[in-house]
Structure 1
Amino acid sequence: MTTNRGLMTAVAVPLLLLGACARPGVAGEAGAPGSAAPVTESTTPDPATIALRVEYRGGFVPAETIPSRLPQFTVYADGRAITEGPVTLIYPGPSLPNLQEIRLSEAQVRELTAGAVAAGVKAGADFGTPGVADAPSTRISVVTAGGEQAVEVMALGQASPDDTSLTAAQQAARKKVTEFIGSLHELFADAASPAAKPYQAERVAVLASPYQDTGDGLAGAPVKWPAAELPGAFLNEELRINCLTVDGTAKDEVLAAAAKGNERTPWESAGKKWQIKFRPLLPDEKECADLKKQA
Protein backbone atom coordinates (compact mmCIF):
# COMPACT_ATOMS: atom_id res chain seq x y z
CA MET A 1 0.00 0.00 0.00
CA THR A 2 1.24 3.45 -0.81
CA THR A 3 0.24 6.90 0.26
CA ASN A 4 1.43 10.48 0.00
CA ARG A 5 3.56 11.08 3.10
CA GLY A 6 3.15 14.87 2.93
CA LEU A 7 -0.63 14.63 2.61
CA MET A 8 -0.81 12.22 5.55
CA THR A 9 0.80 14.83 7.78
CA ALA A 10 -2.07 17.23 7.22
CA VAL A 11 -4.88 14.70 7.35
CA ALA A 12 -3.97 12.76 10.47
CA VAL A 13 -1.40 14.12 12.92
CA PRO A 14 -0.47 11.36 15.41
CA LEU A 15 -1.63 12.31 18.91
CA LEU A 16 1.24 10.54 20.62
CA LEU A 17 3.89 12.78 19.16
CA LEU A 18 5.50 15.41 21.31
CA GLY A 19 6.04 18.59 19.41
CA ALA A 20 5.51 22.16 18.51
CA CYS A 21 2.19 23.91 18.77
CA ALA A 22 0.50 25.19 15.65
CA ARG A 23 1.27 28.75 14.71
CA PRO A 24 -1.82 30.97 14.37
CA GLY A 25 -3.02 31.28 10.79
CA VAL A 26 -2.51 34.60 9.06
CA ALA A 27 -4.77 35.49 6.17
CA GLY A 28 -3.28 37.70 3.49
CA GLU A 29 0.23 37.33 4.87
CA ALA A 30 2.98 38.86 2.74
CA GLY A 31 6.11 36.76 2.87
CA ALA A 32 9.09 35.72 0.79
CA PRO A 33 9.57 31.96 0.39
CA GLY A 34 12.80 31.60 -1.53
CA SER A 35 13.09 34.12 -4.33
CA ALA A 36 9.80 35.91 -4.85
CA ALA A 37 10.52 38.54 -7.48
CA PRO A 38 7.57 39.34 -9.74
CA VAL A 39 7.24 37.04 -12.73
CA THR A 40 6.53 38.67 -16.07
CA GLU A 41 6.37 37.40 -19.61
CA SER A 42 9.02 39.87 -20.76
CA THR A 43 11.84 38.46 -18.61
CA THR A 44 13.70 35.14 -18.67
CA PRO A 45 12.54 33.21 -15.59
CA ASP A 46 15.14 32.67 -12.87
CA PRO A 47 15.20 28.88 -12.26
CA ALA A 48 15.06 29.49 -8.49
CA THR A 49 12.11 31.89 -8.60
CA ILE A 50 9.04 30.43 -6.93
CA ALA A 51 5.78 30.97 -8.80
CA LEU A 52 3.59 28.96 -6.41
CA ARG A 53 4.17 27.08 -3.16
CA VAL A 54 1.92 25.14 -0.80
CA GLU A 55 3.46 24.14 2.54
CA TYR A 56 2.56 23.22 6.10
CA ARG A 57 3.46 25.31 9.11
CA GLY A 58 3.45 24.26 12.76
CA GLY A 59 1.20 21.47 13.96
CA PHE A 60 1.44 18.88 16.74
CA VAL A 61 4.53 17.17 15.40
CA PRO A 62 7.96 16.60 16.93
CA ALA A 63 9.79 19.91 16.73
CA GLU A 64 12.93 18.15 15.51
CA THR A 65 11.13 16.96 12.36
CA ILE A 66 10.11 20.42 11.18
CA PRO A 67 13.41 21.44 9.47
CA SER A 68 13.22 18.34 7.26
CA ARG A 69 9.59 18.90 6.28
CA LEU A 70 9.05 19.35 2.55
CA PRO A 71 6.55 21.68 0.89
CA GLN A 72 3.46 19.98 -0.52
CA PHE A 73 3.98 21.62 -3.89
CA THR A 74 6.45 24.05 -5.40
CA VAL A 75 6.10 25.44 -8.91
CA TYR A 76 9.01 27.46 -10.29
CA ALA A 77 8.87 30.20 -12.89
CA ASP A 78 10.81 28.05 -15.39
CA GLY A 79 8.08 25.39 -15.29
CA ARG A 80 9.52 22.88 -12.85
CA ALA A 81 6.96 21.56 -10.38
CA ILE A 82 8.02 19.41 -7.41
CA THR A 83 6.05 17.42 -4.86
CA GLU A 84 6.55 14.47 -2.52
CA GLY A 85 5.09 11.39 -4.15
CA PRO A 86 3.57 8.26 -2.58
CA VAL A 87 5.61 6.03 -0.30
CA THR A 88 5.07 2.46 0.91
CA LEU A 89 3.34 2.20 4.28
CA ILE A 90 6.00 0.32 6.21
CA TYR A 91 7.83 0.91 9.48
CA PRO A 92 10.55 2.00 9.62
CA GLY A 93 9.98 4.01 6.47
CA PRO A 94 12.56 4.67 3.76
CA SER A 95 15.47 6.98 4.47
CA LEU A 96 14.82 9.15 1.43
CA PRO A 97 11.67 11.07 0.45
CA ASN A 98 10.05 10.26 -2.88
CA LEU A 99 10.31 13.65 -4.56
CA GLN A 100 8.74 13.86 -8.00
CA GLU A 101 9.16 16.53 -10.68
CA ILE A 102 7.13 17.47 -13.72
CA ARG A 103 7.71 20.15 -16.35
CA LEU A 104 4.99 22.66 -17.09
CA SER A 105 4.70 25.07 -19.98
CA GLU A 106 4.80 28.84 -19.49
CA ALA A 107 1.06 28.89 -20.16
CA GLN A 108 0.44 26.23 -17.51
CA VAL A 109 2.43 28.18 -14.92
CA ARG A 110 0.39 31.31 -15.68
CA GLU A 111 -2.81 29.28 -15.43
CA LEU A 112 -1.82 27.90 -12.02
CA THR A 113 -0.86 31.27 -10.58
CA ALA A 114 -4.08 32.82 -11.88
CA GLY A 115 -5.99 29.85 -10.47
CA ALA A 116 -4.46 30.36 -7.04
CA VAL A 117 -5.51 34.01 -6.97
CA ALA A 118 -8.99 33.08 -8.20
CA ALA A 119 -9.18 30.50 -5.40
CA GLY A 120 -8.61 33.23 -2.81
CA VAL A 121 -4.83 33.48 -2.40
CA LYS A 122 -4.70 37.24 -2.04
CA ALA A 123 -4.32 39.91 0.59
CA GLY A 124 -7.33 40.34 2.84
CA ALA A 125 -8.71 36.82 2.37
CA ASP A 126 -10.62 35.64 5.44
CA PHE A 127 -10.50 31.92 6.24
CA GLY A 128 -11.36 32.21 9.91
CA THR A 129 -9.98 30.21 12.84
CA PRO A 130 -11.73 26.87 13.38
CA GLY A 131 -12.19 25.16 16.72
CA VAL A 132 -9.41 22.65 16.03
CA ALA A 133 -6.32 22.31 18.21
CA ASP A 134 -2.81 21.22 17.28
CA ALA A 135 -3.41 20.99 13.52
CA PRO A 136 -0.92 22.46 11.04
CA SER A 137 -1.72 25.53 9.01
CA THR A 138 -1.41 25.54 5.23
CA ARG A 139 0.53 28.42 3.72
CA ILE A 140 -0.04 29.18 0.04
CA SER A 141 2.05 31.77 -1.75
CA VAL A 142 1.81 32.84 -5.36
CA VAL A 143 3.89 35.29 -7.37
CA THR A 144 2.17 37.21 -10.14
CA ALA A 145 3.15 40.17 -12.29
CA GLY A 146 2.03 42.35 -9.38
CA GLY A 147 4.24 40.61 -6.82
CA GLU A 148 3.61 38.00 -4.13
CA GLN A 149 0.32 37.14 -2.47
CA ALA A 150 0.21 34.70 0.47
CA VAL A 151 -2.34 33.29 2.88
CA GLU A 152 -2.09 30.92 5.80
CA VAL A 153 -5.12 28.78 6.60
CA MET A 154 -5.43 27.07 9.97
CA ALA A 155 -6.50 23.39 10.00
CA LEU A 156 -7.50 23.44 6.35
CA GLY A 157 -7.99 19.67 6.16
CA GLN A 158 -9.28 19.15 9.69
CA ALA A 159 -12.05 21.71 10.25
CA SER A 160 -15.58 20.33 10.21
CA PRO A 161 -18.06 21.67 7.61
CA ASP A 162 -20.39 22.58 10.48
CA ASP A 163 -17.73 24.22 12.69
CA THR A 164 -19.60 27.02 14.44
CA SER A 165 -16.36 29.03 14.74
CA LEU A 166 -16.50 29.65 10.98
CA THR A 167 -18.98 31.75 9.05
CA ALA A 168 -20.59 30.53 5.84
CA ALA A 169 -18.32 32.87 3.87
CA GLN A 170 -15.21 31.52 5.59
CA GLN A 171 -16.31 27.94 4.93
CA ALA A 172 -16.84 28.81 1.27
CA ALA A 173 -13.38 30.42 1.08
CA ARG A 174 -11.77 27.34 2.61
CA LYS A 175 -13.61 25.09 0.16
CA LYS A 176 -12.26 27.03 -2.84
CA VAL A 177 -8.67 26.78 -1.58
CA THR A 178 -9.10 23.06 -0.84
CA GLU A 179 -10.36 22.45 -4.37
CA PHE A 180 -7.40 24.35 -5.82
CA ILE A 181 -4.92 22.21 -3.86
CA GLY A 182 -6.83 19.16 -5.03
CA SER A 183 -6.22 20.24 -8.62
CA LEU A 184 -2.47 20.23 -7.90
CA HIS A 185 -2.69 16.65 -6.64
CA GLU A 186 -4.51 15.74 -9.84
CA LEU A 187 -1.82 17.43 -11.92
CA PHE A 188 0.86 15.17 -10.44
CA ALA A 189 -1.38 12.10 -10.40
CA ASP A 190 -1.67 12.24 -14.20
CA ALA A 191 1.62 10.52 -14.99
CA ALA A 192 1.11 10.67 -18.74
CA SER A 193 0.81 14.40 -19.33
CA PRO A 194 3.24 15.68 -18.28
CA ALA A 195 5.29 12.65 -17.22
CA ALA A 196 6.62 12.68 -13.66
CA LYS A 197 10.21 11.72 -12.88
CA PRO A 198 12.31 11.55 -9.70
CA TYR A 199 13.62 14.95 -8.63
CA GLN A 200 17.43 15.08 -8.77
CA ALA A 201 18.66 17.50 -6.12
CA GLU A 202 22.01 19.19 -6.66
CA ARG A 203 22.59 19.28 -2.90
CA VAL A 204 21.20 17.30 0.02
CA ALA A 205 20.99 18.52 3.61
CA VAL A 206 21.92 15.94 6.23
CA LEU A 207 20.17 16.59 9.55
CA ALA A 208 21.96 14.63 12.26
CA SER A 209 21.15 14.12 15.93
CA PRO A 210 22.61 11.71 18.52
CA TYR A 211 21.33 8.17 17.89
CA GLN A 212 18.83 6.73 20.36
CA ASP A 213 18.28 2.99 20.22
CA THR A 214 14.64 2.10 20.94
CA GLY A 215 15.52 -1.56 21.40
CA ASP A 216 12.95 -2.90 18.95
CA GLY A 217 15.57 -4.30 16.57
CA LEU A 218 14.06 -2.63 13.50
CA ALA A 219 16.84 -0.14 12.82
CA GLY A 220 19.21 -2.63 11.27
CA ALA A 221 22.98 -2.74 11.47
CA PRO A 222 25.00 0.50 11.73
CA VAL A 223 26.23 1.93 8.43
CA LYS A 224 29.56 3.69 8.00
CA TRP A 225 29.02 7.30 6.97
CA PRO A 226 30.64 7.82 3.52
CA ALA A 227 31.05 11.62 3.42
CA ALA A 228 32.33 14.55 5.51
CA GLU A 229 32.46 13.81 9.22
CA LEU A 230 29.17 14.10 11.07
CA PRO A 231 27.37 15.89 12.61
CA GLY A 232 28.04 19.29 11.02
CA ALA A 233 27.15 22.64 12.58
CA PHE A 234 24.17 23.23 14.86
CA LEU A 235 20.98 24.08 13.02
CA ASN A 236 19.06 24.11 16.32
CA GLU A 237 21.25 23.87 19.37
CA GLU A 238 18.34 23.50 21.82
CA LEU A 239 17.04 20.42 19.98
CA ARG A 240 20.58 19.20 19.21
CA ILE A 241 19.92 19.11 15.47
CA ASN A 242 23.05 19.45 13.36
CA CYS A 243 23.24 19.97 9.62
CA LEU A 244 25.68 19.70 6.77
CA THR A 245 25.20 19.55 3.02
CA VAL A 246 26.65 17.16 0.46
CA ASP A 247 26.94 17.57 -3.28
CA GLY A 248 28.79 16.09 -6.25
CA THR A 249 30.37 12.66 -5.78
CA ALA A 250 29.84 12.76 -2.00
CA LYS A 251 26.11 13.29 -2.51
CA ASP A 252 25.92 10.32 -4.87
CA GLU A 253 27.69 8.09 -2.35
CA VAL A 254 25.42 9.25 0.47
CA LEU A 255 22.23 8.69 -1.53
CA ALA A 256 23.38 5.23 -2.62
CA ALA A 257 24.03 4.24 1.01
CA ALA A 258 20.78 5.81 2.25
CA ALA A 259 18.74 3.91 -0.35
CA LYS A 260 19.81 0.64 1.35
CA GLY A 261 18.80 1.76 4.85
CA ASN A 262 15.67 3.09 6.52
CA GLU A 263 14.68 6.14 8.54
CA ARG A 264 15.93 4.49 11.75
CA THR A 265 19.32 3.35 10.41
CA PRO A 266 22.21 4.26 12.76
CA TRP A 267 25.08 5.98 10.95
CA GLU A 268 28.62 5.73 12.29
CA SER A 269 31.02 8.66 12.02
CA ALA A 270 34.05 9.60 14.12
CA GLY A 271 33.32 6.80 16.59
CA LYS A 272 29.73 7.90 17.28
CA LYS A 273 26.28 6.90 16.05
CA TRP A 274 23.87 9.36 14.52
CA GLN A 275 20.24 9.46 13.49
CA ILE A 276 19.81 11.18 10.13
CA LYS A 277 17.00 12.84 8.23
CA PHE A 278 17.84 13.45 4.59
CA ARG A 279 16.39 16.61 3.09
CA PRO A 280 17.04 17.17 -0.63
CA LEU A 281 17.40 20.89 -1.17
CA LEU A 282 14.96 22.42 -3.63
CA PRO A 283 16.09 24.83 -6.37
CA ASP A 284 15.50 27.90 -4.16
CA GLU A 285 17.49 26.37 -1.26
CA LYS A 286 21.28 26.39 -1.13
CA GLU A 287 22.33 25.64 2.45
CA CYS A 288 21.23 24.36 5.86
CA ALA A 289 20.16 27.83 7.00
CA ASP A 290 17.41 27.80 4.37
CA LEU A 291 15.63 25.07 6.33
CA LYS A 292 15.11 27.29 9.37
CA LYS A 293 12.19 28.98 7.59
CA GLN A 294 10.19 25.76 7.97
CA ALA A 295 9.64 26.42 11.67
Structure 2
Amino acid sequence: MRPDRPVTVRTLSVVAVVVVLAAGCQSAAAPPSGKAVALRVEQYGGGPLPSGTVTFPEFVLYGDRTLIAADGDAPREYHLTQEEFDRVYGRARSAGLATARTFDVQAPDASVLEVVFGTDTGRSVTRVTAPDPEDSGEAGDVVRAVALDLSSSYERYRPQRVAVVAGASSDPAGPAWPLRPLTEGIPFNAGRCAVYDAAEVRDIRSDTSWTSEGVTYRVRLRPLLPDEPDCASLTHHE
Protein backbone atom coordinates (compact mmCIF):
# COMPACT_ATOMS: atom_id res chain seq x y z
CA MET A 1 0.00 0.00 0.00
CA ARG A 2 1.31 3.43 -0.96
CA PRO A 3 1.84 5.79 1.96
CA ASP A 4 -0.41 8.85 2.07
CA ARG A 5 1.02 11.75 0.15
CA PRO A 6 2.25 14.37 2.60
CA VAL A 7 0.31 17.64 2.59
CA THR A 8 2.76 20.49 2.26
CA VAL A 9 2.38 24.06 3.46
CA ARG A 10 2.34 25.14 -0.20
CA THR A 11 -0.60 22.82 -0.94
CA LEU A 12 -2.55 24.20 2.03
CA SER A 13 -1.87 27.78 0.90
CA VAL A 14 -3.19 27.11 -2.59
CA VAL A 15 -6.33 25.48 -1.20
CA ALA A 16 -6.91 28.43 1.14
CA VAL A 17 -6.62 30.93 -1.72
CA VAL A 18 -9.11 28.96 -3.84
CA VAL A 19 -11.60 28.82 -0.95
CA VAL A 20 -11.32 32.57 -0.31
CA LEU A 21 -11.78 33.41 -3.99
CA ALA A 22 -14.79 31.12 -4.27
CA ALA A 23 -16.39 32.65 -1.19
CA GLY A 24 -15.84 36.13 -2.59
CA CYS A 25 -17.51 35.22 -5.88
CA GLN A 26 -20.50 33.73 -4.07
CA SER A 27 -20.98 36.79 -1.81
CA ALA A 28 -20.98 39.36 -4.62
CA ALA A 29 -24.56 38.95 -5.83
CA ALA A 30 -25.40 40.45 -9.21
CA PRO A 31 -27.69 43.47 -9.69
CA PRO A 32 -31.37 42.72 -10.30
CA SER A 33 -32.93 42.83 -13.74
CA GLY A 34 -35.94 44.55 -15.30
CA LYS A 35 -38.02 46.81 -13.06
CA ALA A 36 -36.66 45.35 -9.83
CA VAL A 37 -35.14 47.99 -7.55
CA ALA A 38 -31.34 48.12 -7.61
CA LEU A 39 -31.04 51.21 -5.42
CA ARG A 40 -33.66 53.38 -3.74
CA VAL A 41 -32.73 56.45 -1.71
CA GLU A 42 -35.25 58.41 0.33
CA GLN A 43 -34.98 60.92 3.14
CA TYR A 44 -37.89 61.71 5.42
CA GLY A 45 -38.49 63.64 8.61
CA GLY A 46 -38.19 61.92 11.95
CA GLY A 47 -41.25 63.59 13.47
CA PRO A 48 -44.90 62.94 12.64
CA LEU A 49 -45.86 64.00 9.12
CA PRO A 50 -48.84 66.33 8.65
CA SER A 51 -52.09 64.59 7.72
CA GLY A 52 -52.09 63.45 4.12
CA THR A 53 -48.39 64.08 3.51
CA VAL A 54 -46.63 61.73 1.10
CA THR A 55 -42.94 61.65 0.20
CA PHE A 56 -41.07 60.91 -3.02
CA PRO A 57 -37.66 59.21 -3.04
CA GLU A 58 -34.59 61.19 -3.95
CA PHE A 59 -34.05 58.61 -6.67
CA VAL A 60 -34.74 55.01 -7.62
CA LEU A 61 -32.46 52.97 -9.87
CA TYR A 62 -33.86 49.88 -11.57
CA GLY A 63 -32.18 46.80 -12.95
CA ASP A 64 -32.89 47.86 -16.54
CA ARG A 65 -30.76 51.00 -15.87
CA THR A 66 -33.76 53.37 -15.64
CA LEU A 67 -33.27 55.98 -12.93
CA ILE A 68 -36.09 58.26 -11.72
CA ALA A 69 -35.10 61.23 -9.59
CA ALA A 70 -37.15 63.79 -7.65
CA ASP A 71 -37.45 67.24 -9.15
CA GLY A 72 -40.35 69.14 -7.60
CA ASP A 73 -43.64 68.25 -9.28
CA ALA A 74 -41.91 66.85 -12.39
CA PRO A 75 -39.54 63.95 -11.62
CA ARG A 76 -36.70 63.26 -14.05
CA GLU A 77 -36.23 59.96 -15.89
CA TYR A 78 -32.76 58.89 -16.97
CA HIS A 79 -31.69 55.92 -19.06
CA LEU A 80 -28.17 55.18 -17.89
CA THR A 81 -25.40 53.62 -19.88
CA GLN A 82 -23.90 50.44 -18.45
CA GLU A 83 -20.90 52.47 -17.29
CA GLU A 84 -23.11 54.99 -15.48
CA PHE A 85 -25.14 52.21 -13.87
CA ASP A 86 -22.00 50.43 -12.69
CA ARG A 87 -20.67 53.66 -11.19
CA VAL A 88 -23.83 54.48 -9.22
CA TYR A 89 -24.48 50.89 -8.14
CA GLY A 90 -20.81 50.14 -7.48
CA ARG A 91 -20.39 53.11 -5.15
CA ALA A 92 -23.33 51.88 -3.07
CA ARG A 93 -21.94 48.34 -2.92
CA SER A 94 -18.48 49.63 -1.93
CA ALA A 95 -20.08 51.54 0.97
CA GLY A 96 -21.33 48.23 2.39
CA LEU A 97 -24.98 48.68 1.48
CA ALA A 98 -25.34 45.02 0.50
CA THR A 99 -25.58 44.42 4.27
CA ALA A 100 -28.50 45.94 6.19
CA ARG A 101 -27.40 48.34 8.91
CA THR A 102 -28.90 51.03 11.14
CA PHE A 103 -26.96 54.11 12.19
CA ASP A 104 -28.98 55.68 14.99
CA VAL A 105 -28.20 58.74 17.09
CA GLN A 106 -30.06 60.51 19.88
CA ALA A 107 -31.55 63.31 17.81
CA PRO A 108 -35.31 63.74 18.31
CA ASP A 109 -37.22 64.52 15.12
CA ALA A 110 -34.04 64.26 13.02
CA SER A 111 -34.44 63.24 9.41
CA VAL A 112 -33.73 59.65 8.37
CA LEU A 113 -31.99 58.50 5.20
CA GLU A 114 -33.36 55.15 4.02
CA VAL A 115 -31.46 53.19 1.36
CA VAL A 116 -32.73 50.01 -0.28
CA PHE A 117 -30.00 48.01 -2.03
CA GLY A 118 -31.27 45.26 -4.32
CA THR A 119 -29.56 42.26 -5.90
CA ASP A 120 -30.75 39.26 -7.89
CA THR A 121 -31.12 37.35 -4.61
CA GLY A 122 -32.86 39.89 -2.38
CA ARG A 123 -32.47 43.31 -0.84
CA SER A 124 -31.15 45.05 2.25
CA VAL A 125 -32.33 48.25 3.93
CA THR A 126 -29.95 50.69 5.64
CA ARG A 127 -31.10 53.66 7.71
CA VAL A 128 -29.06 56.65 8.84
CA THR A 129 -30.53 59.03 11.41
CA ALA A 130 -29.43 62.67 11.04
CA PRO A 131 -27.41 61.95 7.86
CA ASP A 132 -24.34 64.14 7.49
CA PRO A 133 -22.06 64.00 4.43
CA GLU A 134 -19.26 65.52 6.56
CA ASP A 135 -19.34 62.57 8.96
CA SER A 136 -15.99 60.76 8.77
CA GLY A 137 -17.42 57.42 9.90
CA GLU A 138 -19.30 54.64 8.12
CA ALA A 139 -22.58 56.56 8.29
CA GLY A 140 -20.96 59.40 6.36
CA ASP A 141 -19.64 56.89 3.82
CA VAL A 142 -23.22 55.77 3.17
CA VAL A 143 -24.49 59.34 2.75
CA ARG A 144 -21.72 60.23 0.31
CA ALA A 145 -22.06 56.97 -1.63
CA VAL A 146 -25.71 57.63 -2.54
CA ALA A 147 -25.33 61.31 -3.44
CA LEU A 148 -26.54 61.45 -7.03
CA ASP A 149 -24.27 63.15 -9.54
CA LEU A 150 -25.50 62.79 -13.13
CA SER A 151 -24.87 65.09 -16.07
CA SER A 152 -26.50 62.92 -18.73
CA SER A 153 -29.69 63.94 -20.52
CA TYR A 154 -33.11 63.10 -19.12
CA GLU A 155 -36.81 63.39 -19.86
CA ARG A 156 -39.75 64.11 -17.60
CA TYR A 157 -41.16 61.03 -15.94
CA ARG A 158 -44.64 60.19 -17.23
CA PRO A 159 -46.36 57.81 -14.81
CA GLN A 160 -49.20 55.59 -15.88
CA ARG A 161 -50.96 55.98 -12.54
CA VAL A 162 -50.97 58.58 -9.78
CA ALA A 163 -51.78 58.25 -6.09
CA VAL A 164 -53.95 61.01 -4.66
CA VAL A 165 -53.34 61.42 -0.94
CA ALA A 166 -56.01 63.49 0.83
CA GLY A 167 -55.76 64.92 4.32
CA ALA A 168 -58.67 66.55 6.13
CA SER A 169 -58.29 70.33 5.98
CA SER A 170 -59.66 73.37 7.79
CA ASP A 171 -59.48 75.36 4.53
CA PRO A 172 -62.71 76.89 3.23
CA ALA A 173 -64.76 74.47 1.17
CA GLY A 174 -63.14 73.94 -2.20
CA PRO A 175 -64.68 72.88 -5.51
CA ALA A 176 -66.41 69.52 -5.70
CA TRP A 177 -64.01 66.64 -6.29
CA PRO A 178 -64.74 65.49 -9.85
CA LEU A 179 -63.72 61.84 -9.53
CA ARG A 180 -64.83 58.95 -7.35
CA PRO A 181 -65.13 60.00 -3.67
CA LEU A 182 -61.88 60.50 -1.79
CA THR A 183 -63.39 58.62 1.16
CA GLU A 184 -63.14 55.42 -0.88
CA GLY A 185 -59.35 55.50 -0.59
CA ILE A 186 -57.43 53.44 1.96
CA PRO A 187 -56.24 54.98 5.26
CA PHE A 188 -52.84 56.61 4.78
CA ASN A 189 -50.95 58.86 7.22
CA ALA A 190 -54.11 60.15 8.96
CA GLY A 191 -55.73 60.71 5.55
CA ARG A 192 -56.94 58.70 2.58
CA CYS A 193 -55.11 57.45 -0.50
CA ALA A 194 -56.58 56.36 -3.83
CA VAL A 195 -55.00 55.53 -7.19
CA TYR A 196 -56.18 57.04 -10.48
CA ASP A 197 -55.04 56.80 -14.07
CA ALA A 198 -52.68 59.67 -14.83
CA ALA A 199 -55.06 61.02 -17.47
CA GLU A 200 -57.86 61.32 -14.88
CA VAL A 201 -55.91 63.75 -12.70
CA ARG A 202 -54.14 65.60 -15.50
CA ASP A 203 -55.90 68.89 -14.69
CA ILE A 204 -55.67 68.58 -10.90
CA ARG A 205 -52.86 70.40 -9.14
CA SER A 206 -51.11 69.03 -6.09
CA ASP A 207 -51.56 70.73 -2.71
CA THR A 208 -55.01 72.16 -3.49
CA SER A 209 -58.30 71.93 -1.58
CA TRP A 210 -61.36 69.99 -2.73
CA THR A 211 -64.65 68.96 -1.17
CA SER A 212 -65.76 65.35 -1.39
CA GLU A 213 -69.00 64.13 0.22
CA GLY A 214 -69.19 67.19 2.45
CA VAL A 215 -65.59 67.01 3.73
CA THR A 216 -62.85 69.41 2.67
CA TYR A 217 -59.51 67.82 1.85
CA ARG A 218 -56.10 69.06 0.80
CA VAL A 219 -54.91 66.68 -1.88
CA ARG A 220 -51.36 65.84 -2.89
CA LEU A 221 -50.53 64.02 -6.09
CA ARG A 222 -47.83 61.38 -5.97
CA PRO A 223 -46.72 59.74 -9.25
CA LEU A 224 -46.46 55.99 -8.79
CA LEU A 225 -43.09 54.51 -9.72
CA PRO A 226 -42.76 51.37 -11.87
CA ASP A 227 -42.38 49.13 -8.78
CA GLU A 228 -45.28 50.74 -6.89
CA PRO A 229 -48.62 49.07 -7.69
CA ASP A 230 -50.80 50.80 -5.10
CA CYS A 231 -51.00 53.12 -2.11
CA ALA A 232 -49.72 50.45 0.28
CA SER A 233 -46.37 50.48 -1.51
CA LEU A 234 -45.79 54.13 -0.50
CA THR A 235 -44.95 53.26 3.09
CA HIS A 236 -41.32 52.98 4.20
CA HIS A 237 -39.53 49.68 3.65
CA GLU A 238 -39.03 47.22 6.45
Q: TM-score range by the shorter chain?
A: 0.7 to 0.9
Distance 1:139 1:225, change over 3 A: same
Residue 200 of structure 1: how far off its partner (Å): 0.8
The residue number in structure 1 matching 2:34 is 46
Alignment of 1:223-242 (within 5 A): 223-236=175-188, 240-242=190-192
Which structure has the larger Rg?
Answer: 2
Question: Which gives a bigger RCO, structure 1 or 2 (Cα 8 Å, sep 6+)?
Answer: 1
* Deviation digits for residues 234-283 of structure 1 (CA, Å, limit 9, x no counterpart): 324xx641121101xxx32423232xxx62x2213334422112111111
Distance 1:118 1:240, change over 3 A: closer
Residue 77 of structure 1: how far off its partner (Å): 0.8
* Deviation digits for residues 99-135 of structure 1 (CA, Å, limit 9, x no counterpart): 111111234323322210112313276x743342211
The residue number in structure 2 matching 1:11 is none
Distance 1:38 1:57, change over 3 A: farther
Residue 57 of structure 1: how far off its partner (Å): 5.0
Q: Does 1:256 align with 2:199?
A: no
The residue number in structure 1 matching 2:234 is 291
Q: Sequence identity of aligned pairs in percent? A: 27
* Partner SS for 1:223: coil
Alignment of 1:106-185 (within 5 A): 106-123=82-99, 128-145=103-120, 147-157=122-132, 171-182=136-147, 184=148
Contact kept, 8 Å, 1:226 with 1:254, in 2: the verdict is: no
Give the Cα separation in 2 of the matches to 1:124 and 1:199. 30
The residue number in structure 1 matching 2:12 is none
Residue 64 of structure 1: how far off its partner (Å): 3.0
Q: TM-score, normalised by structure 1?
A: 0.62
The residue number in structure 2 matching 1:55 is 42
Alignment of 1:18-37 (within 5 A): none
Give the Cα separation in 1 of the matches to 2:40 and 2:178. 33
* Partner SS for 2:186: strand
Residue 181 of structure 1: how far off its partner (Å): 2.5
Contact kept, 8 Å, 1:38 with 1:143, in 2: the verdict is: no
Structure 1 unaligned segments of length 5 or more: list them: 1-36, 88-96, 162-170, 216-220
Partner of residue 243 from structure 1, selected from 188, 193, 207: 193
Structure 2 unaligned segments of length 5 or more: list them: 1-28
* Deviation digits for residues 4-45 of structure 1 (CA, Å, limit 9, x no counterpart): xxxxxxxxxxxxxxxxxxxxxxxxxxxxxxxxx9636xxxx3
The residue number in structure 1 matching 2:62 is 76
Distance 1:153 1:228, change over 3 A: same
* Partner SS for 2:97: coil
The residue number in structure 2 matching 1:282 is 225
Residue 63 of structure 1: how far off its partner (Å): 5.1
Residue 211 of structure 1: how far off its partner (Å): 2.5
* Partner SS for 1:285: coil
The residue number in structure 1 matching 2:213 is 270
Alignment of 1:181-220 (within 5 A): 181-182=146-147, 184=148, 186-187=149-150, 190=151, 193=152, 195-213=153-171
Distance 1:117 1:225, change over 3 A: same
